Amino acid sequence: MFALVLLSLVPVARADYLVVDRRVSVKRGPSAAAEPARRVQPGQILALAASDLTDNYFQVAFPPGQISWIYKGFVTRHAGEPPADSALPVGTLKVHILNIGQGDAILIVCPDGDHQLLIDTGDTRYPGATQSFKNALTELQAQDDVIEIAVASHPHSDHIGNMEWLLRQYTVGLYVDNGQTYDSATYRHVEKALTDRGVRRERVEASLPSIDFCPLEDVSAIILKPAGFGTLSDPNDRSVIVRVDHGEDSFLFVGDAELEEEEQLLHDAATRARLDCDFLKVGHHASDTSSGQAFLDAVTPDIAAFSAGLPGISTNAGYMHPRRSTIERLLKYVHTLPGPPRRLQTYDAKAKLWTSTEIAGALYGTPLDGELVFESTGNGILPPPVR
Ligand SMILES: [Zn+2]
């Protein structure tokens, strides 16, 4: 009883909190000139890391696990603990693998929602592909919002099929391709659109473009360019390889790279060291000429996803993607994150027929799951809901 009375006399320390008033960035230091760390939204609650102001800046415990600073005029200080139901909203980095049939089209959006990296634009030949791409992109991206960087992994039409439309419809901050010229009407139309629209352009063969599309400190994107890049004859093996990191999460996008380019990546020590990733966008629509054992051993993906057409439809009647042997190889890596068991139609090249392969693990494909959205918290990748 005595102890209880004493306790009630001791004043309780009150931890104040801040509510954000406008859409601004928290900074890496207490000054307007400091680097932005993370965008915050009106109504967002920030925990104070220190009670006193420093040069008119509050010190806040945000993003989670870090300290940053926000100008006093952008927030309102409230006394006491933040309300119990005020979970801090934290943006996720989103990787959208669009469902466009045979081809690739991938939109990566930073946690603020302000910066985009687009890799490839799908095909025009596969039924419905062009409309699917345009619908999906316009839903995700307002037409007056700049796409910071568009990458053409290589000049095949199932990757640059709708690039001309993109360049004419949107403002693209930087266009990156592999540097290879290509003899096709699709390629020439892209070149004309780049010139007409005056788009800044860099070629990976000639340089190593910076594709760091978002200023957030915990988001980065690089091109992996091994020594010898651009020397192989097959355009697939000149695919631009992109690595995206968000906090602890890492993503690898390899276009249509086949075994020869995988070899190049493995042979270059500096490049090889950067292959290990949590997520792999499977090369060449899960063909059996990609995703070799040695390459997968270096990447060790926990999650893998591919884009491909349906069995027997249009161009995939000839390509016959995905291949059973490749899917079985990938499953050995992604089984640690089990998903609900599903069955995927795969082409067995030895038996020369389509077969049904059981998928139990974090392997996803557009023919099975439709559009795929992976959300990265910076401390783990949330897989898409499966049908
Ligand atoms: Zn392709």
Helix (H, G, I), strand (E, B) or coil at 346: strand
Query: CB of 115 within 8 A of CB of 141?
Result: no
Question: What pLDDT sits at residue 86?
Answer: 58
Please name the residues in contact with 29: beta carbons below 8 A apart, sequence gap of 6 or more. Answer: 35, 69
Distance (Å) from CA 280 to ligand 1 centroid: 15
Flag the least confident range among 96-100, 299-303, 357-361.
357-361
pLDDT at 7 over 60: no
Q: How far, in Å, CA of 137 to CA of 132, rounded?
A: 8
Cα angle 253, 327, 244; round to 5: 15
4-89 shares its CATH topology with 93-382: no
Please name the residues in contact with 240: beta carbons below 8 A apart, sequence gap of 6 or more. Answer: 151, 152, 153, 154, 176, 177, 178, 204, 223, 255
Question: What pLDDT sits at residue 24?
Answer: 80
Peptide bond before residue 63 is cis, with ω within 30 degrees of 0: yes
Reply yes or no on domain 4-89 having CATH 3.30.70.260. no
Distance (Å) from CA 5 to ligand 1 centroid: 74
What distances in angstroms separate CA 84 from CA 13, 51, 90, 91, 222, one per listed residue?
17, 20, 16, 20, 40
Question: What pLDDT sits at residue 6?
Answer: 46
| pLDDT, tens digit, 9 for 90 and up, residues 111-125 | 988 899 999 999 999
Distance (Å) from CA 158 to ligand 1 centroid: 5
Question: What pLDDT sits at residue 11?
Answer: 44
Distance (Å) from CA 283 to ligand 1 centroid: 8
Flag the least confident range among 88-92, 247-251, 323-327.
88-92
Distance (Å) from CA 284 to ligand 1 centroid: 5
pLDDT at 59 over 60: yes
Question: What pLDDT sits at residue 66?
Answer: 82
* Mean pLDDT (the chain, rounded): 91
pLDDT at 1 over 50: no
Residues belonging to the chain: 387
Please name the residues in contact with 334: beta carbons below 8 A apart, sequence gap of 6 or more. Answer: 301, 302, 303, 304, 361, 362, 363
Distance (Å) from CA 255 to ligand 1 centroid: 7
HSE-up of residue 193 (Cα within 13 Å, Cβ side): 20
What distances in angstroms separate CA 250 from CA 113, 139, 227, 275, one per listed residue?
18, 26, 23, 10
Q: How far, in Å, CA of 273 to CA of 250, rounded?
A: 13
**Could you tell me the end-to-end alpha-carbon distance of the chain, in angstroms, rounded to an integer?**
60
Question: What pLDDT sits at residue 14?
Answer: 58
Q: Domain boundaries in the chain?
A: 4-89, 93-382
Flag the least confident range among 81-95, 256-270, 331-345.
81-95
Distance (Å) from CA 155 to ligand 1 centroid: 9
Average pLDDT over residues 280-297: 98
Distance (Å) from CA 3 to ligand 1 centroid: 73
β pairing state of 68-71 and 279-281: unpaired
CATH class of the 93-382 domain in this structure: alpha beta
